[in-house]
Every structure is written in C-alpha cells, then in structure tokens.
C-alpha cells in the first residue's frame, strides 16, 4: 500500500508564489484540490508527476512511501495520470489501448477481458473507441492506467467534459474504483460537486489568476 506526500511544496514564477501545500494522501484516499481556473492546480500535478515546466521554480519534496522522488524522472515515479480528455488511441480497439498498460506479454488477451469485466465492460475488447460513450471512454482510460500498476493517481478535471446525466455516475464509479485499488489519489477541480465526492478537500488560492499568468492552470 502506497502513501503519497507533498512535503512543504512551494511553486513560484518570477519570485511570486503560486501554490503552497503540505499534505499526505493515504492508501485508498481521494484528495480533491479545489480552486478556480488559474489557481495553479495543474501546475501542482505536473510537479508531483515529474514534468514541471522549467519556467517555474519549485521547492519541497514529493515522497512515495517515505522515498524522496523529487529529483527522479517522471517514468521512475510511476504515477498514473488522467486528464479531461481520455486520450485513447483512435486507431486501436479497446483491447489495443489496454495492452499499452499491461506489463509482460503472457495471456494479454485474457487479462484484458478480465480487466474489462471489472469495469462493467465485458465484451468490449474489439470495440472501436469512437463508438464508446463518454463514460465508457473514461472507464477505459482509467483501466489502461491501472494496468500499468502505478504508485499513485493524479486526475486533472477528469469529469468536466461529461454530460451532466453521466457525471455523477462516472465520478462515483471512478473514485470508488480508485479507493478499492488502494492507490492514493489526487484530483483537481473547480467544481464543488466533484470536490465533495472526495474524502478530503484542500483549497488553493487565486493569486496566480489575479496576476493573469496564463501558464498557471
């Protein structure tokens, strides 16, 4: 079981502070970081994942199970990411997309079929991703990331593009699936309904937006 820590993290640009945070996310816990557009939410996720733009200055440490990974490259951290768009490969079937997340080669087709069943998508392996609904695409994207066996999960406004009729259902499914996986999860949002579905909420300020710095989103 994995713990994710943000220890005295401070991110700034041009000498002005954008984000300050000191939090620990326990195994299976979902932490929502809430703030308006421009508050630095996505910038914080980039720092945690290991690909912060060099234009930003950052101090503080990122720890996974007490191991300092702050100076490790993104691939060594093994942190899963989900974005507003599912970013599925359009030229591949559902199974083809999922095989990118699989480690090892033995029994891949069977593993994909079993994994799809856990997401309520049994029989979807050969489907074209263009035929999927928004909620189904979100489940496939989540499953592809989970199959890569990440240490933690980061979600960037993951439900914002879903129809209102789907949003509550998909949000509950995704967050409950992440809780049951035992992964520490952070998702950023500016939506109060999304934030309330988390186990805890951390608010971050709007100083970046007030200065009008476009990279701070």
**Longest distance between any two alpha carbons in the chain, whole Å:** 54
Give pLDDT tens digits for 79-114.
999 988 888 999 999 999 998 867 666 678 888 999
Q: What is the Cα–Cα distance from 48 to 70, expressed in whole angstroms?
A: 8
pLDDT the model gives residue 196: 95
Residue 122: exposure state from Cβ atoms within 10 A (0-12, 13-18, ≥19): exposed
pLDDT at 164: 81
| pLDDT number for residue 39 | 82
pTM over 0.85: yes
Q: Which of 16-20, 56-60, 64-68 has the lowest mean pLDDT?
A: 16-20
Contact yes or no for 1/182 (Cβ under 8 A): yes
pLDDT at 103: 64
Residues 12 and 38 in one domain: yes
pLDDT digits (tens, 9 = 90+) for 126-174: 999 999 998 899 999 999 999 888 999 999 998 888 888 788 988 999 9
Among residues 111, 129, 149, which one ends one of the domains?
149
Could you give the CA distance from residue 58 to residue 46 in angstroms, rounded to a whole number?
11
Are 6 and 68 contained in the same domain? yes
Query: Is residue 165 located within the same domain as residue 132?
Result: no
pLDDT tens for 29-47 read: 999 999 888 788 999 999 9
Looking at residue 160, what is its pLDDT?
A: 85
Residues 160, 68, single domain; the answer is yes
Q: What does the pLDDT read at residue 100? A: 80
Return all residues near 26 (Cβ < 8 A) that are at least 6 apart: 3, 184
Q: For position 15, what pLDDT does the model report?
A: 85
Whether residue 138 is found in the same domain as residue 96: yes
pLDDT at 182 over 80: yes
pLDDT in the model for residue 80: 94
141 and 103 both lie in a single domain:
yes
Specify the number of domains making up the chain. Answer: 2
Same-domain pairing of 50 and 105: no
Domain extent for 117 = 91-149
Mean pLDDT of the 173-187 span: 95
Q: Per-residue pLDDT for 8 more than 90? A: yes
Question: Can you give the pLDDT at residue 206?
Answer: 53
- Domain boundary residue, one of 130, 149, 168: 149
Last residue of some domain: 129, 149, 169?
Answer: 149
Decide if 11 is inside a domain: yes
More confident residue, 216 or 49: 49
85 in any annotated domain: no
pLDDT at 9 over 70: yes
pLDDT computed for residue 211 by the predictor = 38
Q: Convert the pLDDT of each residue in 10-21 to its tens digit.
A: 999 988 898 999
> Tell me, what's the pLDDT at 35?
86
Has residue 38 been placed in a domain?
yes
Q: Which long-range contacts (CB under 8 A, 24 or more apart) does 13-19 make?
A: 13/55, 13/56, 13/57, 13/213, 13/215, 13/216, 16/207, 16/211, 17/207, 18/43, 18/56, 18/207, 18/208, 18/213, 18/216, 19/43, 19/44, 19/204, 19/208
């Amino acid at each position: 079981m994995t713990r994710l820590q943000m220890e005295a993290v401070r991110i700034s640009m041009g000498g002005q502070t954008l984000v300050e945070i000191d939090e620990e996310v326990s195994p299976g816990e979902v932490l929502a970081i809430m703030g308006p557009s421009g508050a630095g939410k996505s910038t914080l996720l980039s720092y945690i994942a290991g690909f912060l733009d060099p234009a930003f200055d950052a101090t503080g440490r990122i720890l996974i199970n007490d191991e300092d990974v702050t100076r490790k490259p993104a691939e060594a951290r093994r942190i899963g990411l989900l974005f507003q768009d599912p970013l599925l490969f359009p030229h591949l079937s559902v199974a083809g997309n999922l095989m990118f997340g699989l480690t090892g080669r033995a029994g891949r087709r069977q593993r994909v079929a079993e994994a799809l069943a856990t997401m309520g998508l049994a029989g979807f392996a050969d489907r074209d991703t263009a035929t999927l609904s928004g909620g189904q695409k979100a489940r496939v994207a989540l499953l592809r990331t989970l199959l890569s066996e990440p240490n933690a999960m980061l979600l960037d406004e993951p439900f914002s593009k879903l129809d209102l009729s789907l949003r509550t259902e998909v949000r509950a499914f995704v967050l409950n699936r992440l809780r049951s996986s035992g992964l520490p999860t952070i998702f950023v949002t500016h939506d109060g309904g999304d934030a309330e579905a988390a186990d805890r909420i951390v608010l971050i300020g709007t100083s970046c937006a007030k200065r009008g710095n476009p990279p701070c989103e």
